[in-house]
A and B are shown apart, each in its own frame.
Chain A
Amino acid sequence: MESAAVKGVSCTPRALADSLLDELWRECDAAGWGLDRSEFDAILLSVGTARNYGLAEGEAASRQQRAAYFRSLRLSDLVLARACAAGNEQAWERFVALYRQPLIRAAIAITGSETLGRDLAEQLYAELYGLTARAGERRCPLESYRGRGSLMGWLRTTLAQRHVDHYRRSHREQPLEEFDAQAPEPAPEKPAAELTALERAVEEVLRCRDAEERFLLASYYLDGRTLLEISRVLRVHEATVSRKLRRATGGIRKQVLRNLQGSGMSRRAAEEALGADPRDLDLNLKKLLQYSQSDTFQEKAAR
């Protein structure tokens, strides 16, 4: 696996100052992993252009923005990952020494099982080592790592991805004997006018909430996550999550009241409508929240 060439990187004109590249080259000790300077420059450029230096698509990045983007990267992890993907033995030794055991421990923590965790970690490790090939070409998932965030975090997230995907695939496989055909649903009764208005008002309000509030609501009410778990994801304190949740629910209530009043209800009637049994409402919050996906990923799906 002797290869100094870095796959997927073509020689591009230098868009960065030589002094910055020299500085980054020295910082990440890329020479220790068998990379030469031209390969290092090519890696940086490929990483930068893949995400347009963290800017929106079509937006031109200035030299300072590029420099800031490269400085925000984990270059040492990036170089190690690319050297491993290129098959550098020293890099693999280093990778094994640094990440083999943490990878197994993370897999065990994710799966909650020693056996499943070890299987998951070994499977990913084999993939990382490049044992899988597509179209006759050896592929290493480490090539997709671009230095944003730590390599260990990337490994953990990859493990979690594999585990969740595997679970979601196998979860749908049910034995036939346990499968009972559902009875046909009864014809829906025509709901009361107040309930219809309430449903519409809730839908509108939820669509209007910002991404963070919807994430909080979905995590807390749909997924049943604790405040601590949500706070770890958002890197804020539990109390902050609690406060934001309280503010979100309070804001939704006020907005629903306003919407109901806007639809012709009196304030008292609107408040009475809010006191309706939630089971009487035909609201699918999951669908409502999923309706407002970000445009970026919808665009990706359309392509």
Chain B
Amino acid sequence: MNQNSQLDLHPDAESLNAFAEQALAEREREQILAHLAACSRCRQIVCLAQAAAVEQETAAEAPKARSTIWPGTWLRSWRIAWVPVAVLAAIVTLAVFVHQRRMDTGSKLARIEPQAVPQNVGNLAKPSTPPQKAETAPLPVPVRSATKSLNPTTPTVASEPLPQHFPASSPHFSQAASIELPNSSHELAALPPDASKPEGLSRGAVVQFKPETVVSARELQQALGTAQSHAAARAMQSARGSETQGRRILASTAPAQQYEAKAAIPGPIEVSRQSLMVGIPSIHLTKTTALPSGLPAVSTAISRHCVLAIDQAGELFQSEDFGGHWAHVDRQWTGRAVTVHLSNKENKAAGPTGAGVEQSESASGAEVISLSAATFELVNENGKVWVSQDGKTWKMK
């Protein structure tokens, strides 16, 4: 059967196409249909042609659909940019919101948390404790003992020389430091570049530098108490990359001016969001805003109940929500107020449990941590002293 006879036997392409396109009269359509029912070849031809037609129609409709979605107007051509812009705007909004919330929470100046009092006071001062034992069994340090042992005036403080271990130029410890003591979490303190080992922290105390944290020595002293702060201040001035008995003291490469500026120049209360825990109730210091007068504080005193601050003009402000809101205290003293602090007598009367930590500081950097209820003392420029229990009512001493 040659091709001619095939063409004679089967309907031509035009008839098959006309059948598929419904372009035939009824009589001719019936003829083609009857032929298709009997002829697999023609059925195959019609099916293949129809499949190709459908594929071409589908391919032709796709660009139309695309052009419908993206007409060439300049405004709509930017449509693809709206998505990242919207995402960026959402991120910025979220960041502002989070920052605002942090600022709100940061206005709470301090929060005091009672902490378990460690036992076993004497281990801290024993210089002969093996390093391995010290590492496996952390030395619990009671507050009073720790405070006493870290006080430079206390002769029981063990001050071993701390060997150089970490290079001062280590980027990980380049800017600031943290202090760790047994049974405590890490804490922070800015150290001067020429700091050497602290006497009070030679045993049981670990000083670590953290690049992301900068805290003045004043805060460290606030946390450690007067005796501790003196030791720590000296430690920060002398310590530089030391380690002893598994505990290390690392030096900071921060410029000396940084520390000195923070210690000497009175200004807004400097804060850190991290807590300082040295086996005593931890104090969470947070960032504060300037005083209502707009002037920086030259002296502050923090008790469990309130915070007092004297600005550069000698005005006294009181806050009962740890710096969230400040109230001006009317002048009940003569002259210009210079310093406000807690009474030392009350400190000495504090119990051994370490409950109720209070602290004060002056422009010169002298801080006091009181362990009992507060009695504030205000000193004017002539050296006269006024006392107050609540910070509002003052009586001459």
Contact = CB atoms under 8 A, between A and B. Distances in A.
Interface size class of A (residues with CB under 8 A): 35 or more
Interface in B31-56: 31, 33-41, 43-56
B61 interface: no
Contacts of A110: 48-49, 51-52
Nearest to B33: A211
Interface string A154-177: 101111110111001000000000
Contact of A157 (B24, B43, B45): B45
A293 B38 CA distance: 6
B34 to A, nearest CB: 4
A22 interface: no
B20 A157 contact: yes
Nearest to B8: A300
A38 interface: no
Interface stretch (B10-18, B116-124, B157-165, B185-193): B10-18
Interface stretch (A11-19, A125-133, A142-150, A260-268): A142-150
Nearest to B44: A164
A145 B14 contact: yes
A109 B51 contact: yes
Contacts of A233: 20, 43, 46-47, 50
Instruction: Rank and list the top 3 A-B pairs by shortest CB-CB distance, nearest first.
Output: A214-B37, A211-B34, A294-B34
Contacts of A165: 3, 6, 41
A218 interface: yes
B49 A214 contact: no
Given A150-B17, A290-B39, A232 B51 contact: yes
Given A149-B23, A233-B50, A168 B41 contact: yes
A294 B48 contact: no
B9 interface: yes
A149 B13 CA distance: 10
Contacts of A46: none
A215 to B, nearest CB: 4
B20 to A, nearest CB: 6
Contacts of A225: 43, 47
11 contacts: A149-B18, A212-B37, A218-B37, A229-B47, A229-B50, A233-B43, A291-B38, A293-B39, A294-B30, A294-B38, A297-B11
B54 A289 contact: no
Interface of A: 51, 54-56, 72, 102, 105-106, 109-110, 144-146, 148-150, 153-154, 156-161, 163-165, 168, 211-212, 214-215, 217-219, 222-223, 225, 229, 232-233, 235, 286, 289-294, 296-297, 300-301, 303
Contacts of A154: 13-14, 17
Nearest to B40: A223
Nearest to B25: A54
Q: Is the interface of B mostly helix, strand, loop or mixed?
A: helix
A225 B40 CA distance: 11
A301 B2 CA distance: 12
A165 B28 CA distance: 24
Nearest to B41: A164
B46 A157 contact: yes
A146 B14 contact: yes
A215 B45 contact: no
A157 B37 contact: no
Contacts of A168: 41
Given A212-B37, A215-B36, A233-B43, 10 more contacts: A109-B52, A109-B56, A148-B15, A148-B24, A215-B33, A223-B40, A223-B43, A229-B50, A292-B34, A297-B11
B13 A144 contact: yes
A106 B3 CA distance: 23
B22 interface: yes
Contact of B18 (A148, A160, A286): A148
A55 B30 CA distance: 13
A217 B37 CA distance: 8
Contacts of A222: 40
B48 to A, nearest CB: 4
Contacts of A289: 37-38
Contact of B21 (A51, A149, A296): A149
Given A109-B52, A218-B43, A296-B31, A149 B14 contact: yes
A153 B21 contact: yes
A301 B35 CA distance: 13
Interface string B292-309: 000000000000000000
Given A145-B14, A156-B17, A294-B31, A214 B38 contact: yes
A215 B37 contact: yes
B52 A106 contact: yes
A156 B17 CA distance: 8
A164 B46 CA distance: 10
A168 B39 CA distance: 13
Contact of A72 (B23, B34, B52): B23
Contacts of A149: 14, 17-18, 20-21, 23
A225 B48 CA distance: 11
Contacts of B43: 215, 218-219, 223, 225, 233
B59 interface: yes
Contacts of A56: 27
B14 to A, nearest CB: 6
Contacts of A148: 14-15, 17-18, 23-24
A144 B47 contact: no
B5 interface: yes
B21 A292 contact: no
